[in-house]
A and B are shown apart, each in its own frame.
Chain A
């Protein structure tokens, strides 16, 4: 198994794949978080009946396999003749997918801020905007950040599915090398180690923050 035909060039190919994984994750998480915060604030401030359509649509992204979402989006852009690249399509789908989860995290975090605290802030003469930026967001951040870190890592792992649209990210690049070298275990172990190295330290950080902030409460 250690007598391998794997070259530095192959490893570089995989690293480039990992770069694509990170790029897609970055765009998806940035886009998804912006949407998620917006939707989350709306969810926690507007009556449940009015937000029902939003809730329904977001729920679809959490109840249909991501792979099918990607296939549908790609088929749709082809049908509509939009000429959107698979990379952009993937980023959009993953961003919407992220926003669906992020909305729930944001809403939960905002709802975790006790109403009395908010009333206290308003009674001091703070405007709604000041209350949100000075009191609610800083408090909600502590509640939501650990889950948000988990979501980000989840999106990075789920981004492996974009290979179905022909994008050569980390796992697809490994598969290409496997097909050529026929050394599946070794190459997959390297791919797994890269994923693990990207995910594990951040996951530990998230767990650490969660424990630390819970102790203070």
Chain B
């Protein structure tokens, strides 16, 4: 047992490359969140709509996103679309898969937040002479944003962790992809991935801490 010499120095030499990978990881997760939030709002509107033509596709999206593995969703983007002659690069496929997933979960987050705001708030806004859109923007939306803030930051952490799945479709520029590329040259699997794990941990904690600070600044009530 343990006839193995750990060679941490080799892993640390790879640190600059891995940190560059971490930047790509952050880039993908941020992009997937921005796109995901935008689509989630549209899906939420669709799911609450009276028209079956809006409700059905939105509901399908949300249920598929929540009831199949994220990896499956990435596979769909990367391999599945090949059936239609559409070949997405690993980067785009990964981004599309995570965005699809984010949008599905965030849609439900936003809908839950909307339900948590009493109807009387809308009424109070309308009674002061605001139109429905103005009352939504000035009164409902800020409160919805606050309720949804923490779940949204959790989703951001999920998005970061999900980017690691890109390696399964050949992604080699994000943190996991870079680590795997190094691994296949050096076979220092444990050292390299342990270091990658620490970096992921730090990113996740930094995002949570940043979100806390932001929440503290934004929501004084």
Q: CB of B100 within 8 A of chain A?
A: no
Whether B68 contacts A157 by the Cβ 8 Å rule is yes
Q: How far is the CB of A87 from chain B (nearest CB, A)?
A: 18
**Minimum C-beta distance from B118 to chain A (A):** 16
**Pick from A60, A82, A203: contact of B66, CB under 8 Å:** A203
The tally of residues in B whose CB lies under 8 Å from a CB in A reads 40
Are A68 and B196 within 8 A (Cβ)?
yes
Residues of A within 8 A of B193 (CB): 68, 71-72, 75
Interface string of A70-85 (1 = CB under 8 A from B): 0110011001111000
Interchain nearest-CB distance for A191 vs B (Å): 7
Q: Does B184 contact A (CB under 8 A)?
A: no
A196-B189 in contact (CB<8A) = no
A37 at the interface (CB under 8 A from B): no
Given A67-B164, A67-B165: A184 touches B80 (CB 8 Å cut-off):
yes
Which residues of chain B are near A71, meaning CB under 8 Å? 189, 193
**Smallest CB gap from A82: residue in B:** B1
A124 within 8 A of partner (CB): no
Q: Tell me if B72 and A192 are in contact (CB < 8 A).
A: yes
A-B contact count (CB 8 A): 110
Q: Interface digits, B56-84 against A, CB 8 Å rule (1 contact, 0 not)? A: 00000001101111111001100111111
Chain A residues numbered 81-138 whose CB sits less than 8 Å from any CB in chain B = 81-82
> Do A65 and B161 have beta carbons less than 8 Å apart?
yes
Bound-state CA distance A49–B201 (Å) is 22
Interface residue? A38 (CB, 8 A)? no
With A171-B69, A171-B72 in contact, is A72–B197 under 8 Å at CB? yes
For the complex of A and B, 6 pairs with smallest distance between CB atoms: A185-B83, A65-B164, A157-B69, A75-B190, A63-B204, A199-B67
Which residues of chain A have a CB within 8 Å of any CB of chain B?
Answer: 1, 60, 63-69, 71-72, 75-76, 79-82, 153, 157-158, 160-161, 163-164, 171, 175, 178, 183-186, 188-189, 191-192, 195-196, 199-200, 203
Can you list 24 contacts pairing A with B, beta carbon distance less than 8 Å?
Answer: A60-B201, A64-B204, A65-B163, A65-B197, A65-B200, A68-B197, A69-B197, A75-B189, A79-B2, A81-B1, A153-B67, A164-B168, A171-B69, A171-B72, A175-B75, A178-B79, A188-B76, A192-B76, A195-B67, A195-B68, A195-B72, A196-B64, A199-B68, A200-B67
Residues of B within 8 A of A (CB): 1-4, 63-64, 66-72, 75-76, 79-84, 157, 161-165, 167-168, 176, 189-190, 193-194, 196-197, 200-201, 204-205
| Further contacts, 14 of them, CB under 8 A, given A63-B201, A68-B176 | A65-B163, A66-B161, A72-B194, A157-B68, A161-B71, A161-B165, A184-B79, A188-B75, A188-B80, A192-B68, A195-B67, A196-B68, A200-B67, A203-B66
